[in-house]
Amino acid sequence: MTRVYLALGSNLGDRLANLRAAIASLDERGIAVTARSSAWETPPVPAGQPPFLNAAVAAETALDPPSLLRELKAIEHALGRRPGPHWGSRPIDLDILFYGDVRIETPELTIPHPRIAERAFVLAPLSDITSGPLPVIALAAIDLLERTGLQGAVRRFAL
């Protein structure tokens, strides 16, 4: 089993219900959630769309990275996500932040997730579930979050 960290986001429909449904779906697909963050409401990136609820989970899985990505895409589809503009509004978005201490760069998948160190909307939820150094990066999420100036985290909701 490999420890993974996943980011979740939603800015369409019942955002909190979308996040909860995605988390419930993970267990059904061989991705055992071991910790979940609060849901953080953040401004959209880019602007001009509804605000997001963002969350993070830690999980254990026997799936290899491409299989994990396929399962996440299947969950997104089952919850109503359809192809659309890059960084556009969506009912659910699931991203692999870390997969053990592995680095991967293929046309389909980059791990750790690109620009993680710059994104308060990822780091705030991640800091809820891990306090130690992040895999590969070797810095704590809270330290990276402080470097962003904590910009973007608006409100927290229980998930």
What are the angstrom distances between the C-alpha of 105 and each of 44, 65, 102, 108, 113?
A: 26, 11, 10, 8, 10
- Annotated catalytic residue, options 15, 36, 93, 128: 93
- 90 catalytic, yes or no? yes
> Which runs of consecutive H residues, i.e. helices, occur in the chain?
15-28, 65-78, 120-129, 141-147
What the block records as the tokens of 141 is 């999420």
- Write the single-letter amino acid at 91: P
- Annotated catalytic residue, options 95, 103, 115, 119: 95
- Annotated catalytic residue, options 15, 90, 119, 128: 90
- Annotated catalytic residue, options 36, 64, 70, 81: 81
Q: Report whether 52 contacts 11 (CB < 8 A).
A: yes
- 95 catalytic, yes or no? yes
Query: What are the residue numbers of the active site?
Result: 81, 90, 93, 95
